[in-house]
Protein backbone atom coordinates (compact mmCIF):
# COMPACT_ATOMS: atom_id res chain seq x y z
CA UNK A 1 0.00 0.00 0.00
CA UNK A 2 1.21 3.48 -0.89
CA UNK A 3 1.81 5.76 2.07
CA UNK A 4 1.16 8.93 0.07
CA UNK A 5 -1.77 11.05 1.19
CA UNK A 6 -3.79 13.93 -0.21
CA UNK A 7 -5.56 16.67 1.70
CA UNK A 8 -9.02 18.22 1.69
CA UNK A 9 -9.74 21.57 3.31
CA UNK A 10 -13.04 21.78 5.20
CA UNK A 11 -14.80 24.63 6.97
CA UNK A 12 -16.59 23.32 10.05
CA UNK A 13 -19.22 25.28 11.99
CA UNK A 14 -19.66 25.26 15.75
CA UNK A 15 -17.72 25.94 18.93
CA UNK A 16 -14.10 24.81 19.05
CA UNK A 17 -15.09 21.61 20.82
CA UNK A 18 -17.96 20.90 18.42
CA UNK A 19 -15.86 21.60 15.35
CA UNK A 20 -12.98 19.49 16.61
CA UNK A 21 -15.35 16.60 17.21
CA UNK A 22 -16.79 16.97 13.70
CA UNK A 23 -13.29 16.95 12.22
CA UNK A 24 -12.47 13.68 13.95
CA UNK A 25 -15.83 12.30 12.86
CA UNK A 26 -15.03 13.14 9.23
CA UNK A 27 -11.87 11.02 9.46
CA UNK A 28 -13.92 7.95 10.37
CA UNK A 29 -17.17 8.65 8.52
CA UNK A 30 -15.46 9.19 5.18
CA UNK A 31 -13.30 6.08 5.42
CA UNK A 32 -14.14 3.03 7.54
CA UNK A 33 -17.61 4.17 8.76
CA UNK A 34 -17.19 1.83 11.72
CA UNK A 35 -16.78 2.30 15.49
CA UNK A 36 -13.20 3.47 15.90
CA UNK A 37 -12.67 1.66 19.19
CA UNK A 38 -13.46 -1.69 17.56
CA UNK A 39 -10.72 -1.37 14.96
CA UNK A 40 -7.43 -2.76 16.19
CA UNK A 41 -5.73 -3.46 12.86
CA UNK A 42 -2.72 -1.12 12.76
CA UNK A 43 -2.71 -0.92 8.96
CA UNK A 44 -6.28 0.39 8.97
CA UNK A 45 -5.69 2.79 11.83
CA UNK A 46 -2.42 4.14 10.42
CA UNK A 47 -3.22 4.23 6.74
CA UNK A 48 -6.97 3.98 6.07
CA UNK A 49 -8.35 6.40 8.65
CA UNK A 50 -8.54 10.02 7.67
CA UNK A 51 -6.13 12.21 9.62
CA UNK A 52 -6.55 15.78 10.91
CA UNK A 53 -3.35 17.49 9.78
CA UNK A 54 -4.24 20.98 10.97
CA UNK A 55 -7.10 22.72 12.73
CA UNK A 56 -7.49 26.45 13.35
CA UNK A 57 -10.07 29.14 13.85
CA UNK A 58 -11.47 30.80 10.73
CA UNK A 59 -14.01 33.19 12.24
CA UNK A 60 -16.27 33.45 15.26
CA UNK A 61 -18.15 30.19 14.73
CA UNK A 62 -16.12 28.44 12.03
CA UNK A 63 -12.92 26.40 12.03
CA UNK A 64 -10.73 25.23 9.16
CA UNK A 65 -9.59 21.60 9.17
CA UNK A 66 -7.09 20.10 6.76
CA UNK A 67 -7.79 16.37 6.63
CA UNK A 68 -5.64 13.90 4.72
CA UNK A 69 -6.58 10.57 3.16
CA UNK A 70 -4.46 7.77 1.76
CA UNK A 71 -4.46 7.97 -2.04
CA UNK A 72 -5.23 4.23 -2.21
CA UNK A 73 -8.62 4.77 -0.57
CA UNK A 74 -9.71 6.76 -3.63
CA UNK A 75 -9.42 3.60 -5.71
CA UNK A 76 -7.86 5.95 -8.27
CA UNK A 77 -11.37 6.38 -9.69
CA UNK A 78 -13.34 9.63 -9.86
CA UNK A 79 -16.54 8.18 -8.40
CA UNK A 80 -14.85 6.84 -5.27
CA UNK A 81 -12.67 9.95 -5.05
CA UNK A 82 -15.78 12.15 -4.84
CA UNK A 83 -17.37 9.75 -2.38
CA UNK A 84 -14.23 9.84 -0.23
CA UNK A 85 -13.93 13.62 -0.05
CA UNK A 86 -17.59 14.42 0.59
CA UNK A 87 -19.86 11.35 0.48
CA UNK A 88 -21.56 10.72 3.82
CA UNK A 89 -20.58 14.04 5.38
CA UNK A 90 -22.54 15.87 2.69
CA UNK A 91 -25.57 14.72 4.65
CA UNK A 92 -24.32 16.29 7.88
CA UNK A 93 -24.83 20.01 8.63
CA UNK A 94 -22.07 22.51 9.26
CA UNK A 95 -19.40 21.00 7.00
CA UNK A 96 -18.22 22.65 3.79
CA UNK A 97 -15.53 21.37 1.42
CA UNK A 98 -13.33 24.35 0.54
CA UNK A 99 -10.50 22.96 -1.59
CA UNK A 100 -8.30 20.05 -2.66
CA UNK A 101 -4.54 19.52 -2.37
CA UNK A 102 -3.66 16.62 -4.65
CA UNK A 103 -0.29 14.89 -5.14
CA UNK A 104 1.15 13.76 -8.51
CA UNK A 105 0.21 10.11 -7.91
CA UNK A 106 -3.45 11.07 -7.87
CA UNK A 107 -3.37 13.84 -10.45
CA UNK A 108 -1.75 11.59 -13.05
CA UNK A 109 -4.76 9.26 -12.93
CA UNK A 110 -7.13 11.99 -14.14
CA UNK A 111 -6.70 13.25 -17.68
CA UNK A 112 -8.82 16.32 -17.01
CA UNK A 113 -9.90 18.55 -19.89
CA UNK A 114 -8.88 17.37 -23.34
CA UNK A 115 -8.50 20.90 -24.71
CA UNK A 116 -8.35 23.37 -21.84
CA UNK A 117 -7.77 27.05 -22.53
CA UNK A 118 -4.94 26.73 -25.02
CA UNK A 119 -6.56 23.89 -26.94
CA UNK A 120 -9.88 25.66 -27.25
CA UNK A 121 -8.12 28.80 -28.46
CA UNK A 122 -6.27 26.78 -31.11
CA UNK A 123 -9.52 25.16 -32.22
CA UNK A 124 -11.22 28.54 -32.62
CA UNK A 125 -8.18 30.35 -34.00
CA UNK A 126 -8.27 33.01 -31.28
CA UNK A 127 -4.99 33.89 -29.59
CA UNK A 128 -5.66 36.56 -26.99
CA UNK A 129 -9.11 38.06 -26.63
CA UNK A 130 -11.89 36.60 -24.46
CA UNK A 131 -14.17 34.10 -26.20
CA UNK A 132 -17.79 34.87 -27.01
CA UNK A 133 -20.61 32.44 -26.32
CA UNK A 134 -24.38 32.44 -26.66
CA UNK A 135 -27.25 29.94 -26.69
CA UNK A 136 -29.98 29.07 -29.13
CA UNK A 137 -33.25 29.74 -27.32
CA UNK A 138 -36.00 29.97 -26.18
CA UNK A 139 -37.20 26.47 -25.43
CA UNK A 140 -40.18 25.74 -27.68
CA UNK A 141 -38.76 26.92 -31.01
CA UNK A 142 -38.55 24.23 -33.67
CA UNK A 143 -35.23 22.99 -35.01
CA UNK A 144 -35.29 25.15 -38.15
CA UNK A 145 -35.78 28.34 -36.18
CA UNK A 146 -33.03 27.39 -33.74
CA UNK A 147 -30.72 26.66 -36.67
CA UNK A 148 -31.52 30.07 -38.16
CA UNK A 149 -30.52 31.69 -34.88
CA UNK A 150 -27.28 29.69 -34.89
CA UNK A 151 -26.57 30.90 -38.42
CA UNK A 152 -27.08 34.54 -37.46
CA UNK A 153 -24.94 34.19 -34.33
CA UNK A 154 -22.10 32.65 -36.33
CA UNK A 155 -22.32 35.33 -39.05
CA UNK A 156 -22.13 37.97 -36.33
CA UNK A 157 -18.88 36.63 -34.92
CA UNK A 158 -19.87 34.49 -31.93
CA UNK A 159 -17.24 31.82 -31.16
CA UNK A 160 -19.30 29.18 -29.35
CA UNK A 161 -23.01 28.62 -29.90
CA UNK A 162 -24.52 26.16 -27.47
CA UNK A 163 -27.91 24.61 -27.03
CA UNK A 164 -29.83 26.11 -24.15
CA UNK A 165 -29.53 23.58 -21.33
CA UNK A 166 -33.25 22.72 -21.34
CA UNK A 167 -33.34 21.83 -25.03
CA UNK A 168 -32.81 18.09 -25.33
CA UNK A 169 -35.01 15.75 -27.40
CA UNK A 170 -38.47 17.29 -27.25
CA UNK A 171 -41.10 16.78 -29.94
CA UNK A 172 -40.75 20.37 -31.17
CA UNK A 173 -36.97 20.01 -31.57
CA UNK A 174 -35.84 16.36 -31.77
CA UNK A 175 -32.17 15.85 -30.91
CA UNK A 176 -30.88 14.49 -34.21
CA UNK A 177 -32.83 16.94 -36.35
CA UNK A 178 -31.74 19.95 -34.29
CA UNK A 179 -28.09 18.98 -34.09
CA UNK A 180 -27.90 18.25 -37.80
CA UNK A 181 -29.51 21.56 -38.76
CA UNK A 182 -27.64 23.73 -36.24
CA UNK A 183 -24.25 22.20 -37.08
CA UNK A 184 -24.94 22.67 -40.79
CA UNK A 185 -26.01 26.29 -40.23
CA UNK A 186 -22.81 27.11 -38.33
CA UNK A 187 -20.69 25.40 -40.99
CA UNK A 188 -22.42 27.46 -43.67
CA UNK A 189 -21.73 30.68 -41.76
CA UNK A 190 -18.09 29.69 -41.25
CA UNK A 191 -17.70 29.24 -45.00
CA UNK A 192 -18.86 32.83 -45.44
CA UNK A 193 -16.86 34.41 -42.62
CA UNK A 194 -13.73 32.27 -42.76
CA UNK A 195 -13.98 31.80 -38.98
CA UNK A 196 -14.13 28.63 -36.88
CA UNK A 197 -17.26 29.07 -34.77
CA UNK A 198 -18.41 25.86 -33.10
CA UNK A 199 -21.85 24.59 -32.18
CA UNK A 200 -22.00 22.76 -28.83
CA UNK A 201 -24.88 20.31 -28.71
CA UNK A 202 -26.57 19.46 -25.42
CA UNK A 203 -26.27 15.72 -24.85
CA UNK A 204 -27.88 15.55 -21.41
CA UNK A 205 -29.80 12.32 -21.77
CA UNK A 206 -30.73 9.04 -20.08
CA UNK A 207 -27.70 7.01 -19.02
CA UNK A 208 -28.18 4.41 -21.74
CA UNK A 209 -28.31 7.05 -24.49
CA UNK A 210 -25.78 9.74 -23.64
CA UNK A 211 -22.72 8.14 -25.28
CA UNK A 212 -24.66 7.54 -28.46
CA UNK A 213 -25.83 11.15 -28.51
CA UNK A 214 -22.23 12.32 -28.11
CA UNK A 215 -21.23 10.23 -31.13
CA UNK A 216 -24.24 11.37 -33.14
CA UNK A 217 -23.45 15.00 -32.37
CA UNK A 218 -19.88 14.56 -33.59
CA UNK A 219 -21.10 12.76 -36.70
CA UNK A 220 -23.50 15.57 -37.57
CA UNK A 221 -20.70 18.13 -37.27
CA UNK A 222 -21.10 19.56 -33.78
CA UNK A 223 -17.86 21.19 -32.65
CA UNK A 224 -18.48 20.77 -28.93
CA UNK A 225 -20.78 19.29 -26.29
CA UNK A 226 -22.85 20.79 -23.49
CA UNK A 227 -22.98 18.56 -20.41
CA UNK A 228 -24.64 19.08 -17.01
CA UNK A 229 -22.81 16.77 -14.57
CA UNK A 230 -25.35 17.54 -11.87
CA UNK A 231 -27.87 15.74 -14.10
CA UNK A 232 -25.82 13.02 -15.79
CA UNK A 233 -22.91 12.58 -13.37
CA UNK A 234 -19.37 13.88 -13.13
CA UNK A 235 -17.89 10.54 -14.13
CA UNK A 236 -20.10 10.43 -17.20
CA UNK A 237 -18.61 13.75 -18.26
CA UNK A 238 -15.14 12.39 -17.48
CA UNK A 239 -15.78 9.31 -19.64
CA UNK A 240 -16.86 11.42 -22.60
CA UNK A 241 -13.88 13.76 -22.23
CA UNK A 242 -11.51 10.78 -22.19
CA UNK A 243 -13.03 9.08 -25.25
CA UNK A 244 -10.66 9.51 -28.21
CA UNK A 245 -13.43 8.65 -30.68
CA UNK A 246 -15.41 11.70 -29.54
CA UNK A 247 -12.62 14.22 -28.89
CA UNK A 248 -14.76 17.35 -28.59
CA UNK A 249 -14.50 20.25 -26.12
CA UNK A 250 -16.96 20.11 -23.25
CA UNK A 251 -18.90 23.08 -21.95
CA UNK A 252 -20.01 22.27 -18.41
CA UNK A 253 -23.38 23.58 -17.19
CA UNK A 254 -24.14 24.01 -13.45
CA UNK A 255 -27.74 22.79 -13.52
CA UNK A 256 -28.73 20.96 -10.29
CA UNK A 257 -25.41 21.84 -8.64
CA UNK A 258 -26.53 25.11 -7.06
CA UNK A 259 -27.48 23.68 -3.69
CA UNK A 260 -23.88 22.57 -3.17
CA UNK A 261 -22.61 26.15 -3.16
CA UNK A 262 -25.31 28.55 -2.01
CA UNK A 263 -24.77 27.96 1.72
CA UNK A 264 -21.71 29.43 3.43
CA UNK A 265 -21.68 26.64 6.02
CA UNK A 266 -22.61 23.54 4.01
CA UNK A 267 -21.83 21.95 0.68
CA UNK A 268 -18.84 22.63 -1.54
CA UNK A 269 -17.15 25.94 -2.30
CA UNK A 270 -17.48 27.59 -5.70
CA UNK A 271 -13.70 27.31 -6.06
CA UNK A 272 -13.63 23.55 -5.48
CA UNK A 273 -16.80 22.51 -7.32
CA UNK A 274 -16.81 24.73 -10.38
CA UNK A 275 -13.04 25.02 -10.56
CA UNK A 276 -11.12 22.00 -9.32
CA UNK A 277 -13.73 19.22 -9.56
CA UNK A 278 -15.02 20.38 -12.95
CA UNK A 279 -11.43 20.26 -14.27
CA UNK A 280 -10.74 16.81 -12.86
CA UNK A 281 -13.96 15.65 -14.54
CA UNK A 282 -12.97 16.83 -18.02
CA UNK A 283 -14.69 20.18 -18.52
CA UNK A 284 -12.97 22.64 -20.89
CA UNK A 285 -15.18 25.54 -19.80
CA UNK A 286 -17.39 26.02 -16.74
CA UNK A 287 -20.58 28.03 -16.98
CA UNK A 288 -21.69 29.80 -13.81
CA UNK A 289 -24.02 32.69 -12.90
CA UNK A 290 -22.22 36.01 -13.01
CA UNK A 291 -22.60 38.35 -10.05
CA UNK A 292 -25.13 41.14 -10.39
CA UNK A 293 -27.42 39.11 -12.63
CA UNK A 294 -30.55 37.18 -11.78
CA UNK A 295 -28.71 34.77 -9.47
CA UNK A 296 -27.11 35.32 -6.07
CA UNK A 297 -23.41 34.68 -6.71
CA UNK A 298 -21.13 37.43 -5.37
CA UNK A 299 -18.16 39.00 -7.12
CA UNK A 300 -15.82 37.20 -4.72
CA UNK A 301 -17.44 33.82 -5.42
CA UNK A 302 -17.17 34.37 -9.17
CA UNK A 303 -13.50 35.29 -8.87
CA UNK A 304 -12.90 32.16 -6.77
CA UNK A 305 -14.29 30.05 -9.65
CA UNK A 306 -11.88 31.74 -12.05
CA UNK A 307 -9.08 30.99 -9.59
CA UNK A 308 -10.08 27.33 -9.28
CA UNK A 309 -10.23 27.08 -13.06
CA UNK A 310 -6.54 28.00 -13.28
CA UNK A 311 -4.86 26.92 -10.02
CA UNK A 312 -1.89 24.64 -10.64
CA UNK A 313 -2.96 20.97 -10.57
CA UNK A 314 -0.12 18.99 -12.09
CA UNK A 315 -0.76 18.27 -15.76
CA UNK A 316 -4.49 19.10 -15.48
CA UNK A 317 -5.03 21.95 -17.93
CA UNK A 318 -6.55 25.29 -16.89
CA UNK A 319 -10.08 25.79 -18.17
CA UNK A 320 -12.20 28.81 -19.07
CA UNK A 321 -14.55 30.36 -16.54
CA UNK A 322 -17.77 31.19 -18.39
CA UNK A 323 -19.91 33.73 -16.51
CA UNK A 324 -23.50 34.10 -17.72
CA UNK A 325 -26.99 34.30 -16.31
CA UNK A 326 -28.26 37.82 -16.86
CA UNK A 327 -25.18 39.13 -18.67
CA UNK A 328 -25.74 42.17 -20.85
CA UNK A 329 -23.66 44.05 -23.42
CA UNK A 330 -23.56 47.07 -21.14
CA UNK A 331 -21.48 45.09 -18.61
CA UNK A 332 -18.78 43.84 -20.99
CA UNK A 333 -16.25 46.50 -19.99
CA UNK A 334 -16.84 45.77 -16.30
CA UNK A 335 -16.43 42.03 -16.89
CA UNK A 336 -13.24 42.51 -18.88
CA UNK A 337 -11.80 44.54 -16.04
CA UNK A 338 -12.70 41.82 -13.54
CA UNK A 339 -11.88 38.57 -15.36
CA UNK A 340 -9.26 39.67 -17.87
CA UNK A 341 -8.80 37.85 -21.18
CA UNK A 342 -8.91 34.21 -20.02
CA UNK A 343 -12.70 34.00 -19.94
CA UNK A 344 -15.69 33.09 -22.06
CA UNK A 345 -18.47 35.67 -21.94
CA UNK A 346 -21.90 34.04 -22.19
CA UNK A 347 -24.68 36.40 -23.22
CA UNK A 348 -28.04 34.91 -24.18
CA UNK A 349 -31.19 37.03 -24.09
CA UNK A 350 -29.09 40.19 -23.80
CA UNK A 351 -28.00 39.82 -27.42
CA UNK A 352 -31.60 40.26 -28.56
CA UNK A 353 -32.26 43.48 -26.68
CA UNK A 354 -29.53 45.75 -28.08
CA UNK A 355 -31.36 46.23 -31.39
CA UNK A 356 -33.64 44.29 -33.73
CA UNK A 357 -30.70 43.20 -35.91
CA UNK A 358 -29.26 40.10 -34.28
CA UNK A 359 -26.22 39.85 -36.55
CA UNK A 360 -25.25 43.45 -35.86
CA UNK A 361 -25.76 42.89 -32.14
CA UNK A 362 -23.27 40.02 -32.27
CA UNK A 363 -20.78 42.15 -34.19
CA UNK A 364 -21.14 44.87 -31.59
CA UNK A 365 -20.46 42.29 -28.85
CA UNK A 366 -17.30 41.21 -30.65
CA UNK A 367 -16.14 44.81 -31.12
CA UNK A 368 -16.67 45.57 -27.44
CA UNK A 369 -14.52 42.65 -26.34
CA UNK A 370 -11.83 43.35 -28.93
CA UNK A 371 -11.51 47.09 -28.35
CA UNK A 372 -11.67 47.45 -24.56
CA UNK A 373 -8.35 46.82 -22.79
CA UNK A 374 -8.52 43.93 -20.34
CA UNK A 375 -7.03 43.89 -16.85
CA UNK A 376 -4.60 41.13 -17.85
Domains of the chain: 5-107 (3.30.70.150), 116-371 (3.20.20.110)
**What would the mean pLDDT of 235-256 be, rounded to a whole number?**
98
Cα distances from 345 to residues 62, 110, 233, 327, in angstroms, run 35, 27, 25, 8
d(Cα 142, Cα 92) in Å, to the nearest integer?
Answer: 45
297 with 262: CB under 8 angstroms?
A: no
d(Cα 344, Cα 347) in Å, to the nearest integer?
Answer: 10
Running DSSP on this structure, what letter comes out for residue 88?
A: G
Q: Is the pLDDT of residue 375 over 80?
A: no
**pLDDT tens-digit readout, 154-172:** 999 999 999 999 999 999 9
Determine the length of the chain: 376
Parallel/antiparallel/unpaired status of strands 267-268 and 5-13: unpaired
282 with 243: CB under 8 angstroms?
A: no
Query: What is the model's pLDDT at position 107?
Result: 94
**pLDDT tens-digit readout, 97-118:** 999 999 998 999 999 999 999 9
Q: Is the pLDDT of residue 125 over 70?
A: yes
Query: What is the model's pLDDT at position 346?
Result: 97
Query: What is the model's pLDDT at position 263?
Result: 94
Mean pLDDT estimate for the chain: 96
**pLDDT tens-digit readout, 362-374:** 999 999 998 877 6
Of 157, 189, 160, 163, nearest to 368 by C-alpha is: 157
Cα distances from 250 to residues 107, 162, 326, in angstroms, run 20, 11, 22
**pLDDT tens-digit readout, 57-94:** 999 899 999 999 999 999 999 999 999 999 999 999 99
Q: What is the CA radius of gyration of the chain?
A: 22
Query: What is the model's pLDDT at position 304?
Result: 98
For 32, the 3-state DSSP assignment is: coil
Q: What region does 356 belong to: left with phi over 0, alpha with psi -120 to 50, or beta?
A: alpha
| Band of residue 3 on the pLDDT scale cut at 50, 70, 90 | confident
d(Cα 98, Cα 50) in Å, to the nearest integer?
Answer: 17
| Band of residue 7 on the pLDDT scale cut at 50, 70, 90 | very high
Amino acid sequence: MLKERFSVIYSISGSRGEASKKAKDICIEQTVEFPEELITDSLIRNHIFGRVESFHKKDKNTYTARISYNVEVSGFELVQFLNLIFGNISIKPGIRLEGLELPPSLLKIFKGPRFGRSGLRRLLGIKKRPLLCTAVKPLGLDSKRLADLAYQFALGGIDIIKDDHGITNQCFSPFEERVRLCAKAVQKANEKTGKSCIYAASINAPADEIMERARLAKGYGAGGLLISPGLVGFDTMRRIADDDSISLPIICHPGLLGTYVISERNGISHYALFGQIARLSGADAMIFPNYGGRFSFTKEECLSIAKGAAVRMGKIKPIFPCPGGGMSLSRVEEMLSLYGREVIFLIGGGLFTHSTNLIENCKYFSELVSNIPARR
